[in-house]
Amino acid sequence: MGKMARFVLTVNGERREVEAEPDMPLLWVLRDLLDLTGTKYSCGIGVCGMCNVHLDGELTPSCSVPVAAASGREVTTIEGISPDGSHPVQQAWLEERVSQCGYCQPGQVMAAIALLRRNPAPDDAAIDEAMGGTLCRCGSYPRIRRAIHRAAGKVGT
Protein backbone atom coordinates (compact mmCIF):
# COMPACT_ATOMS: atom_id res chain seq x y z
CA MET A 1 0.00 0.00 0.00
CA GLY A 2 1.33 3.36 -0.94
CA LYS A 3 0.83 6.78 0.55
CA MET A 4 -2.07 8.99 -0.39
CA ALA A 5 -1.12 11.25 -3.26
CA ARG A 6 -2.69 13.68 -5.67
CA PHE A 7 -3.29 12.57 -9.25
CA VAL A 8 -4.44 14.51 -12.24
CA LEU A 9 -6.46 12.70 -14.91
CA THR A 10 -8.33 13.85 -17.93
CA VAL A 11 -11.74 12.23 -17.72
CA ASN A 12 -14.12 12.73 -20.64
CA GLY A 13 -12.13 15.77 -21.65
CA GLU A 14 -12.19 17.37 -18.19
CA ARG A 15 -9.22 17.78 -15.91
CA ARG A 16 -9.96 15.95 -12.65
CA GLU A 17 -7.82 15.89 -9.55
CA VAL A 18 -8.14 13.09 -7.04
CA GLU A 19 -6.44 12.20 -3.82
CA ALA A 20 -5.94 8.46 -3.60
CA GLU A 21 -3.50 5.71 -2.90
CA PRO A 22 -1.41 5.09 -6.00
CA ASP A 23 -2.64 1.49 -6.31
CA MET A 24 -6.34 2.36 -6.10
CA PRO A 25 -7.85 0.99 -9.31
CA LEU A 26 -9.09 3.53 -11.81
CA LEU A 27 -12.51 1.79 -11.59
CA TRP A 28 -12.98 2.84 -7.97
CA VAL A 29 -11.57 6.29 -8.57
CA LEU A 30 -14.22 6.75 -11.26
CA ARG A 31 -17.07 5.19 -9.32
CA ASP A 32 -16.45 6.17 -5.72
CA LEU A 33 -14.39 9.36 -5.95
CA LEU A 34 -15.73 10.95 -9.16
CA ASP A 35 -19.26 9.45 -9.05
CA LEU A 36 -19.02 8.23 -12.64
CA THR A 37 -21.01 5.08 -12.03
CA GLY A 38 -21.69 4.08 -15.63
CA THR A 39 -18.47 2.06 -15.42
CA LYS A 40 -19.45 -1.13 -13.61
CA TYR A 41 -17.76 -3.43 -11.13
CA SER A 42 -18.24 -7.13 -11.63
CA CYS A 43 -15.15 -9.34 -11.28
CA GLY A 44 -12.43 -6.92 -10.19
CA ILE A 45 -9.72 -9.09 -11.76
CA GLY A 46 -9.79 -7.99 -15.38
CA VAL A 47 -11.75 -10.99 -16.68
CA CYS A 48 -15.24 -9.67 -17.43
CA GLY A 49 -14.81 -6.29 -19.15
CA MET A 50 -17.80 -4.69 -17.46
CA CYS A 51 -15.51 -1.90 -16.22
CA ASN A 52 -14.15 -1.14 -19.71
CA VAL A 53 -12.95 2.40 -20.41
CA HIS A 54 -10.72 3.92 -23.06
CA LEU A 55 -7.31 4.92 -21.79
CA ASP A 56 -5.64 7.14 -24.37
CA GLY A 57 -8.11 5.56 -26.77
CA GLU A 58 -7.22 1.98 -25.90
CA LEU A 59 -9.83 -0.41 -24.50
CA THR A 60 -8.85 -1.14 -20.88
CA PRO A 61 -10.57 -2.83 -17.94
CA SER A 62 -10.42 -0.03 -15.39
CA CYS A 63 -10.30 -2.44 -12.44
CA SER A 64 -6.81 -3.45 -13.54
CA VAL A 65 -5.25 0.01 -13.90
CA PRO A 66 -3.88 1.65 -10.76
CA VAL A 67 -4.70 5.35 -10.65
CA ALA A 68 -0.98 6.12 -10.70
CA ALA A 69 -0.74 4.47 -14.11
CA ALA A 70 -3.68 6.51 -15.42
CA SER A 71 -2.22 9.75 -14.16
CA GLY A 72 -1.75 12.34 -16.87
CA ARG A 73 -3.64 10.23 -19.39
CA GLU A 74 -6.95 10.59 -21.15
CA VAL A 75 -9.75 8.48 -19.76
CA THR A 76 -13.03 8.11 -21.60
CA THR A 77 -15.94 6.48 -19.80
CA ILE A 78 -19.43 5.62 -21.03
CA GLU A 79 -20.57 9.03 -19.77
CA GLY A 80 -18.18 10.59 -22.28
CA ILE A 81 -19.68 8.80 -25.28
CA SER A 82 -22.94 10.73 -25.48
CA PRO A 83 -25.40 11.90 -22.85
CA ASP A 84 -28.45 10.98 -24.93
CA GLY A 85 -27.52 7.75 -26.64
CA SER A 86 -26.93 9.45 -30.00
CA HIS A 87 -23.55 7.82 -30.71
CA PRO A 88 -23.89 5.42 -33.67
CA VAL A 89 -22.94 2.44 -31.51
CA GLN A 90 -25.52 3.33 -28.89
CA GLN A 91 -28.06 3.88 -31.67
CA ALA A 92 -27.26 0.43 -33.05
CA TRP A 93 -27.70 -0.99 -29.54
CA LEU A 94 -31.14 0.58 -29.33
CA GLU A 95 -32.14 -0.52 -32.82
CA GLU A 96 -31.08 -4.12 -32.22
CA ARG A 97 -32.67 -4.03 -28.75
CA VAL A 98 -29.53 -5.49 -27.25
CA SER A 99 -29.76 -5.04 -23.54
CA GLN A 100 -31.48 -7.23 -21.01
CA CYS A 101 -30.49 -6.48 -17.40
CA GLY A 102 -28.19 -3.89 -18.95
CA TYR A 103 -25.45 -4.07 -16.37
CA CYS A 104 -22.67 -5.11 -18.75
CA GLN A 105 -23.80 -2.91 -21.64
CA PRO A 106 -21.68 0.18 -20.88
CA GLY A 107 -18.63 -2.11 -21.01
CA GLN A 108 -19.91 -3.73 -24.21
CA VAL A 109 -20.48 -0.33 -25.87
CA MET A 110 -16.96 0.78 -24.91
CA ALA A 111 -15.48 -2.43 -26.36
CA ALA A 112 -17.48 -2.07 -29.57
CA ILE A 113 -16.43 1.56 -30.10
CA ALA A 114 -12.78 0.64 -29.60
CA LEU A 115 -13.15 -2.16 -32.15
CA LEU A 116 -14.92 -0.03 -34.76
CA ARG A 117 -12.32 2.72 -34.50
CA ARG A 118 -9.62 0.18 -35.28
CA ASN A 119 -11.57 -1.85 -37.77
CA PRO A 120 -14.53 0.03 -39.28
CA ALA A 121 -16.13 -3.08 -40.80
CA PRO A 122 -15.17 -6.16 -38.77
CA ASP A 123 -16.29 -9.64 -39.75
CA ASP A 124 -17.70 -12.10 -37.20
CA ALA A 125 -14.29 -13.50 -36.34
CA ALA A 126 -12.89 -10.03 -35.66
CA ILE A 127 -15.93 -9.21 -33.53
CA ASP A 128 -15.61 -12.40 -31.51
CA GLU A 129 -11.94 -11.71 -30.98
CA ALA A 130 -12.42 -8.10 -29.92
CA MET A 131 -15.51 -8.67 -27.80
CA GLY A 132 -14.29 -11.88 -26.14
CA GLY A 133 -13.11 -10.02 -23.07
CA THR A 134 -16.50 -8.55 -22.22
CA LEU A 135 -18.98 -10.96 -20.68
CA CYS A 136 -22.77 -10.88 -20.65
CA ARG A 137 -24.60 -13.17 -18.22
CA CYS A 138 -28.00 -12.45 -19.79
CA GLY A 139 -26.79 -13.74 -23.16
CA SER A 140 -27.14 -10.68 -25.36
CA TYR A 141 -24.19 -11.75 -27.54
CA PRO A 142 -26.15 -12.45 -30.78
CA ARG A 143 -27.61 -8.95 -30.65
CA ILE A 144 -24.30 -7.33 -29.76
CA ARG A 145 -22.84 -8.92 -32.87
CA ARG A 146 -25.70 -7.64 -35.00
CA ALA A 147 -25.44 -4.17 -33.48
CA ILE A 148 -21.74 -3.99 -34.28
CA HIS A 149 -22.42 -4.93 -37.90
CA ARG A 150 -25.13 -2.27 -37.98
CA ALA A 151 -22.76 0.39 -36.62
CA ALA A 152 -19.97 -0.62 -39.01
CA GLY A 153 -18.59 2.32 -40.93
CA LYS A 154 -20.38 4.86 -38.75
CA VAL A 155 -17.71 5.36 -36.12
CA GLY A 156 -14.94 7.87 -36.72
CA THR A 157 -11.39 6.88 -35.93
Partner 1 sequence: MSTLQNPGRRSFMVTTAAAGSGLLLAFALGSCGGASSPNGRNGFRPNGWLRITPGGRIIITVAEAEMGQGVHTSLAMLVAEELEVTMEQVEVEQAPVDNRLYGWQYTGGSTSVREGWEPMRRAGATARQMLIEAAARRWQVPPGECRARLGVVEHPASGKRATYGELASAAAQLDPPSQVSLKDPARFRLIGRATGEVEAVPVVTGRLRYASDLKLPGMLTAVVVHCPVFGGGVRSVASEAALQVAGVRRVLEIEEGVVVLAEHFWAAQQGARALRIEWDYGAAAGLDSAGIRKLFQSHADRFDSLDQELARALESAPRRLEVDYHIPFQAHAVPESICCTVHIHDGICEVWVPTQSPSEAQEVAARLSLSRPGYLLQKLKGKLLGRPFDAVRIHNMRLGGGFGRRLEVDYVVEAVKIAKLAQAPVRLLWPREEEIQHGYYRPASLHRMRAGLDQQGMPLAWHQLAVGAGGFRSPYYSIPAKGGDTLKLESGVPTGSWRSVGSSYNAFVIEGFVDELAAAAGRDPLDYRLALLEDEPRFRAVIELAAEKAGWGGRLPEGHHLGLAAHPGFGSLVAQVVELSADRERGIRIHRIVCAIDCGQVVNPDTVKAQMEGGIIFGLTATLAGAITIRNGRVEQSNLHDFPLLRMGEVPPIDVYIVPSSAPPGGVGEPGVPPIAPAVGNALYAATGKRIRELPVKPEELFQ
Q: Which is nearer to partner 1, 42 or 60 (CB)?
A: 42
Q: Which is nearer to partner 1, 103 or 117 (CB)?
A: 103
DSSP 8-class letter at 79: G
How near is the Cβ of 70 to partner 1 at its closest, in Å?
A: 14
How near is the Cβ of 10 to partner 1 at its closest, in Å?
A: 18
Strand, helix or coil for residue 156? coil
Q: What strands, in cross-sheet order, belong to the sheet with 74-76?
A: 14-20, 5-11, 74-76, 52-55, 58-61
How near is the Cβ of 157 to partner 1 at its closest, in Å?
A: 21
How near is the Cβ of 89 to partner 1 at its closest, in Å?
A: 8
Distances (CA, A) of 126 to 47, 120, 123: 19, 11, 5
DSSP 8-class letter at 42: S
Phi, psi (deg, nearest 5) at residue 5: -150, 170
Q: Which is nearer to partner 1, 72 or 142 (CB)?
A: 142
Distances (CA, A) of 28 to 34, 36, 61, 62, 105: 9, 9, 12, 8, 18
How near is the Cβ of 147 to partner 1 at its closest, in Å?
A: 10
Instruction: Report d(CA 110, CA 155) in Å as an integer.
Output: 12
What is the contact surface with partner 1 in residues (CB under 8 A)? Answer: 1, 4, 21, 24-25, 28, 31-33, 35, 37-45, 47-48, 50, 77-79, 81-85, 90, 93-94, 97-106, 109, 125, 127-129, 131-145
Q: Which is nearer to partner 1, 2 or 72 (CB)?
A: 2
Q: Which is nearer to partner 1, 31 or 54 (CB)?
A: 31
